[in-house]
Each structure stands twice: as structure tokens, then as C-alpha cells.
A and B are shown apart, each in its own frame.
Chain A
Amino acid sequence: MTNSDEATRLSIFTTVLEHARLAPVDDVPLEEIAARVDTSVDEVRRYGASTHEILHIAIADMLTALADAHEIIVASDDSPIAAGVDAEVAILSHVVEFAPVYRAESSRALWRTLTQLLREHLLGHLRADPSSIPLSSANDRDVQMLAAFNAAGTTAAMEVWLQNENSRDIEEAVGVIFASTPQWWLTPGR
């Protein structure tokens, strides 16, 4: 991809994301995105068949960047609780920033992407240090089940929180999610 292509891609993604912060984009035609970016519809179509599809790609990119940033926090922090709070605050801030998108009926695939990324992240940590798992002998299937449990549970609790129009306090939501999480996840390896 040339620098010019990259700049166009960035402009298209930024325009779609800015729109999504305010309202669902499902009915926004590609022509409108093209006009705002000052490019052709064919050019916009290179990044997705619909505005909705481009939005999902752009958000998946953001989530991957979030996960990468959290890897850096974890690597520089000895406290699993502090690192966990940072991660959950970051994810919830992202979800709140794009609340109209995540609240929309069509957001199911996005929640799945979020859960999948979180699951991979947790799986990596458990495989690297399984000493806190409270099972006498955990095989890889067990580790995958535990990572899946935490990831799906966390995003389900976030979804319930976001569905409430009055939800504003991210720290409070993180507190409820942590209270739902078994304590061994939050303690250093034994």
C-alpha cells in the first residue's frame, strides 16, 4: 500500500468512525462517505461493500491496537489487578465512545470480535503462567474453557451495562465485572 493509499484508507476509516460516534451507520450510503473524503465511491468500496462493513473493519483494527497496547502495560506492570483494571477501563471507554454502534441490533459481530480478542489475550496469559489456575491438573482444553468463560462473561456484563441508557460510570462497571470474576484471575501466580 502506497502512502497515498494509506492516507485515503485512514481518511475513510476516520470519517466512518466519526459518524459512528454519533449514530448508527447502517443507512449511510458509500456515496456520502466518498463525498466527505473527497474521493470516488469505487475507491471507498475497496475497503468494504457497505459503510457498516467498513466500520466493522475499522473497529476491529482499533480493538487489535487496544490489545497490543495492553500487552505493553502488562509487560511493564507487576500487578495483575492494576493491569486488569487498565484493560477493562480501556475496553469500556472504547465501547462507550462507540455506544450507538455497540447498542445497535447489528452489533452482534462486533461483540463477538471483542470477545474473541479478549479471549485470545487471556489465553496467552494463562498459557504463559498457569500457576494461578485452581485445578490440580489443567490441560489446554481446560485453559481454553477458562479463558472463554472470562472473555464471554466480561463482554456480556459490558453489554448489559451499555444497554442501560444511564450508564456513565466506567469505574463502577469495572468494579461489578471484577466482582463477577473469580479471585484467582486477580492474584499473582502461586
Chain B
Amino acid sequence: MPERLHPVKKSVLALAREIPLHEVTHLQIAERAGVEISEVLEHGATSIEIAEAALDELLAYIEEELAVISANNTNEFSLVAESHRMLLEHALDQAPVYLSSTDGRLWRVMTSRVDALLERRIEFHPARLPFTNPSNLEKRMLAAYTAAGTVAAIETWLRSGDTDDLDDAVTVIFAGAPEWLFDATR
């Protein structure tokens, strides 16, 4: 786990490996992090809110890593495969947290991040889109489909328990996405 993650956020993610996330109290977080309860409350009103913020920050670090990798690699397909692999590794690493999400709330943190990435990709490659002059609504729908689909596939993969082969899972995620999105010839 990145050192720069705040001790309160680290503590919530660590406690979720020991007890169900919704049962984690502010007192437990404060004791684990070595801070006052008032400081815990600055990070969120509930353990789930703090976990959401922690996961969002971890996903932001993944984006930073991807930006560094992409500076040295122009093969788009391998970059997207790498981003899928990093999301799968992250989900596996934080499995106790994500699997505690019974209402899909924590998965929506990942969906938001992937959605924003896809919206940028769609803006950057207008020639790939299956329509000419798509409206903003159409572009948002196209991004939303692949973002929610990708994350649902990752959740299904994680819940299956059959998580040894990341490359295999990456191949399945590519198969679920529209072909035009990664068509570098357009």
C-alpha cells in the first residue's frame, strides 16, 4: 500500500481485512491510526465513506503510474492491457474491502475513475466512434457502457475466486468491450 496514503485511510483498509467494513468504528480506526477520533471524522462520516476515499486515492495512484508507463510506450493495446491488469491487481489486493460492498457503492468509485478515462479516450479518438458528430450525451453513454461493463467483469472475476491468471481475465475484458474503442487503425 502506498506510503503516502493517510494513516486513517490505511487503517480502514487494514481493519476491513479483519472485520466487516460496515462494523468498523471510528474508535477502532483512531486507535489503529494513532490519531484522535476528530481526525478520523475529517476523512468521512462512516467507515464506508473513508474506504471510498481511500480506494479513490489508490486508483489515482494507478493513473499516475499509467501516465509514466505511457510516456515510454506508444503501443496503445499493450497500455490498455496494462491498465486492465493494474485494476485487476488492485481489486485483488483490496478484495476484502470490495467484497464487503453489498450495495455496489465501493465498485462505483472504480467505475467513476474508469469512466473519466474512457471519456478522455473517446474525446482523443473521435475517428473511432461509430457515429459522425456524436452528441455529448451519446459520448457519455458510450463511455458509461464500457466503464460499468469493465468494472462488473472485474467484480465477477474477483467473486469467482478463480483469480490466478490475470492475462486471461484481461483477454475476457477486451472481449466484452466494443471493438472500435481500441481500433488503432482508425
Whether, in the assembled complex, B96 has its beta carbon less than 8 Å from a beta carbon of chain A, the answer is no
Instruction: Judge whether A155 is part of the interface by a CB distance below 8 angstroms.
Output: yes
Size range of the chain A interface in the assembly: 35 or more
Q: Do B157 and A160 touch (CB < 8 A)?
A: no
Q: A133 — which chain B residues lie within 8 A by C-beta?
A: 175
Contact pick for A141, options B141, B144, B162, CB 8 Å: B162
A160 adjacent to B140 (CB under 8 Å): yes
Is B141's CB under 8 angstroms from A145's CB? no
B24 at interface (Cβ–Cβ under 8 A)?
no
Residue B175 contacts which of A135, A155, A164, A179 (CB distance < 8 angstroms)? Answer: A135
Q: Are B172 and A135 in contact (CB under 8 A)?
A: yes
- Is B14's beta carbon under 8 Å from chain A? no
List of B residues within 8 angstroms of A115 by Cβ: 152
Q: How far is the CB of A125 from chain B (nearest CB, A)?
A: 15
- Complex CA–CA separation, A134 to B178 (angstroms): 12
The answer to whether the Cβ of B123 comes within 8 Å of any Cβ in the partner chain is no
A161 and B171 form a contact (CB under 8 A): no
Give A160 to B169 CA distance when docked, in angstroms. 27
B156 and A176 form a contact (CB under 8 A) = no
**Residue pair A152, B148 in contact (C-beta under 8 Å):** yes
With A148-B152, A179-B178, A180-B178 in contact, is A153–B157 under 8 Å at CB?
no
Asked if B172 and A154 make an inter-chain contact with CB atoms under 8 angstroms apart, the answer reads: no
* A155 and B164 alpha carbons, distance in the complex (Å): 29
User: How big is chain B's contact interface, by range?
Assistant: 35 or more
Q: How far is the CB of B9 from chain A (nearest CB, A)?
A: 24
Bound CA–CA A9/B127 (angstroms): 54
Q: Which residues of B contact A141 (CB under 8 A)?
A: 156-157, 160, 162
Chain B residues contacting A109 (CB-CB under 8 Å) are 103
Note all chain A residues with C-beta closer than 8 A to B151. 152
* Nearest CB of B to A88, in Å: 12
In the complex, the answer to whether B104 meets A108 with C-beta atoms within 8 Å is yes
Q: How far is the CA of A154 from the CA of B169 in the complex (A)?
A: 21
Which residues of B123-168 have CB atoms within 8 Å of chain A's CB atoms?
A: 130-131, 137-138, 140-142, 144-153, 155-157, 160, 162, 168
* B141–A157 CB distance below 8 A: yes
CB < 8 Å: which of A112, A150, A177, A179 contacts B176? A150
Rounded to whole angstroms, the CA-CA distance of A184 and B178 in the bound complex is 10
Interchain CB contact under 8 A, B145 and A181: yes
Alpha-carbon distance A167/B141, docked complex (angstroms): 12
Chain A residues closer than 8 Å to B156, beta-carbon distance: 141, 144-145, 148
B140 contacts A153, CB within 8 Å? Answer: no
- Chain A residues with CB under 8 Å of B160's CB are 141, 144
Contact of B152 among A151, A159, A179 (CB under 8 A): A151
7 contacts between A and B (CB under 8 A): A135-B175, A149-B149, A156-B148, A160-B137, A160-B141, A180-B145, A180-B178
| The 9 A-B residue pairs with the shortest CB-CB distance in the complex, in nearest-first order | A149-B176, A156-B148, A153-B149, A152-B152, A180-B145, A149-B149, A153-B145, A179-B130, A148-B152
Given contact pairs A133-B175, A153-B144, a sample of 4 additional A-B residue pairs in the complex whose CB atoms are under 8 Å apart:
A153-B152, A155-B148, A156-B149, A157-B141
